[in-house]
A and B are shown apart, each in its own frame.
Chain A
Amino acid sequence: MSNDMNHHIKVYRNVFLALLVLTGLTVGASYFEFGGIIWLAVGVGLLIAFVKGYLVAANFMHLNNEKSFIYLVLVMTVMFFLVLFFMPMMWHNDGLRSPSHIPMQNGEVYEKPSTDDHHDHGGHH
């Protein structure tokens, strides 16, 4: 048992260090321009987050060595999560780039179309 635990302690220390490095990497990457390609910047940011999440879940939460019943619960969770996550986007299946009918604070959609309003701060799109 004691030897087993010593191994655990070593793993936890290494994971801790890895998480610190990855945190630094996330912050550093956010200052990097990626040639102005936004999806690449978002992708790198999320990739690092997923690696960190994996390290925490697999080691601290012992998911790398857990009973199959827990995995079953988690597979179900992931399935429902994906439905929850993408269902609203599918409702807007005319494409995410069409914002016109989503209510927005500060957006121009609900601005009253008036001719005598000279204080329009909403911008023109």
Chain B
Amino acid sequence: MKIPYNEELRPDTGLYNAKLGIWLFLASEVMLFGGLFSAYIMLRLSDPNWANYGQSALNVPLATLNTIVLITSSVTMVMSWVALKLNDLKKYSMYMGLTLLCSFGFLVIKYIEYTSKFDHGLYPSTNNFLAVYFTLTGLHGLHVIGGIFVNGYFFGPGKKMWKTEPERFTNRIEVAGLYWHFVDLVWIFLFPALYLL
């Protein structure tokens, strides 16, 4: 039996089902990160010792580089969707490959940051700021890893759907893109909140 509304739009929502699904999922993600952001603000505003917790020791240039890497990956992600809309599978593969490359780059830079913190004896248990920092960036990092699995699948074995159901595959890439842009969006707020302010 064919699953309905994979390609054609459902009359009452005006959407294909997966798009509504991903937006509901992203709504739950907003709550997940929102709770942690709220905790961060509470802890920070109520802690007179905050300035001594080493926030200024975070590596701003590396984090700036990571911001640029993630923004670039968001652009290549949306371009991979454009390539499919233009019936260009080769270009799709190139842009999706670039997205994956940026994702791994982001994780490598994050790894360098984490290990340099550990080398200086700075752990999540050290103080409230580092607890917040590792929790938020760690959770975000897990989302990047999750995105790599999804995008990796569409870059590799998942691509064969293009031959049989091109429109459905294009929708899949749009949905994966929505998730990936959300991960980018979270970082856009994490970066100034943790590193700069």
Q: Which of A36-87 contact B (CB under 8 A)?
A: 41-42, 45-46, 48-49, 52-53, 56-57, 60-61, 67-70, 73-74, 76-77, 80-81, 84-86
Contact A42 B48 (CB under 8 A): no
Write out the residue numbers on chain A whose beta carbons fall within 8 Å of the beta carbon of B23: 70, 73-74
Q: Would you call B159 an interface residue if the criterion is a C-beta within 8 Å of the partner chain's C-beta atoms?
A: no
For residue B12, which residue of chain A has the nearest CB?
A: A69
Tally of B interface residues using CB under 8 Å = 56
Contact B15 A67 (CB under 8 A): yes
Q: Which of B13, B15, B19, B74 touches A60 (beta carbons < 8 Å)?
A: B74
Contact A26 B192 (CB under 8 A): yes
Q: Would you call B93 an interface residue if the criterion is a C-beta within 8 Å of the partner chain's C-beta atoms?
A: no
Most buried by B among A42, A56, A57: A56
Write out the residue numbers on chain B whose beta carbons fall within 8 Å of the beta carbon of A69: 13-15, 20
Contact A85 B196 (CB under 8 A): no
Q: Which of A29, A57, A77, A125 touches B27 (beta carbons < 8 Å)?
A: A77
Q: Would you call A93 an interface residue if the criterion is a C-beta within 8 Å of the partner chain's C-beta atoms?
A: no
**What sequence of 0s and 1s flags, for each residue 1-39 of chain A, a beta carbon within 8 Å of any chain B beta carbon?**
110010011001101100110010011011000000000
Give me the interface of A with B, judged by CB distance under 8 Å. Answer: 1-2, 5, 8-9, 12-13, 15-16, 19-20, 23, 26-27, 29-30, 41-42, 45-46, 48-49, 52-53, 56-57, 60-61, 67-70, 73-74, 76-77, 80-81, 84-86, 88-89, 92, 96-99, 102, 104-107, 123, 125
Q: Which 4 A-B pairs have the closest CB atoms?
A: A30-B196, A99-B46, A67-B14, A77-B27
Give me the interface of B with A, judged by CB distance under 8 Å. Answer: 13-15, 19-20, 23-24, 27, 30-31, 34-35, 37-39, 41-43, 45-49, 52-53, 60, 64, 67-68, 71-72, 74-75, 77-79, 82, 85-86, 127-128, 131, 177-178, 181-182, 184-185, 188-189, 191-193, 195-197
In the complex, besides A60-B78, A92-B42, A104-B46, 17 extra interface pairs with C-beta distance below 8 angstroms are A5-B85, A8-B82, A27-B64, A41-B197, A45-B193, A46-B192, A67-B14, A67-B15, A73-B20, A74-B23, A77-B30, A85-B37, A102-B42, A104-B47, A105-B127, A106-B127, A123-B49
